[in-house]
């Protein structure tokens, strides 16, 4: 049996491994692998949370779209009634409605301004 030694004192058949079976490089690779595993799991949980938040935001946006559609319908009906009023000879009533609308607008503006 012939054993060839390298300059470091370890037999050449071990390829530079220490007697414990692990080299410094393997220990560093294990440490880096564990660090990478931790980072990947953090990114995975973060992406799951982002997906959940996107679903919630999409649901809220669709609900807001429905609300805006219904408000648009109400506003369209009010405008058609206003057109009907303006076609008639009820200009005095129309003037009162416009003044009332301006009054309501300024009251709402004043309330918002005080907050």
Calpha distance 102→89 (Å, rounded):
22
Answer left, alpha or beta for residue 2, where phi above 0 means left and psi between -120 and 50 means alpha: beta
Q: Helices 24-87 and 91-114, interaxial angle, to 10°? A: 150
Calpha distance 91→93 (Å, rounded):
5
The per-residue pLDDT for range 8-50, each reduced to its tens digit, is 555 555 555 555 566 888 989 999 999 999 999 999 999 999 9
Nearest residue to 59 (alpha-carbon basis) of 51, 48, 71: 51
The per-residue pLDDT for range 51-103, each reduced to its tens digit, is 999 999 999 999 988 888 888 888 888 888 877 766 766 677 778 888 999 99
pTM of the model: 0.44
């Amino acid at each position: 049996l012939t054993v060839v030694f390298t300059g470091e004192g370890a037999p050449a058949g071990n390829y530079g491994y220490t007697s414990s079976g692990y080299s410094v490089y393997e220990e560093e690779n294990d440490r880096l692998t564990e660090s990478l595993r931790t980072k990947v799991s953090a990114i995975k949980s973060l992406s799951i949370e982002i997906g959940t938040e996107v679903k919630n935001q999409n649901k809220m946006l669709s609900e807001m779209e429905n609300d805006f559609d219904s408000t648009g319908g109400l506003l369209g009906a009010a405008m058609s009634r206003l057109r009907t009023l303006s076609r008639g000879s009820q200009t005095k009533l129309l003037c009162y409605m416009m003044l009332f609308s301006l009054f309501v607008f300024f009251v709402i503006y004043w309330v918002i301004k005080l907050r």
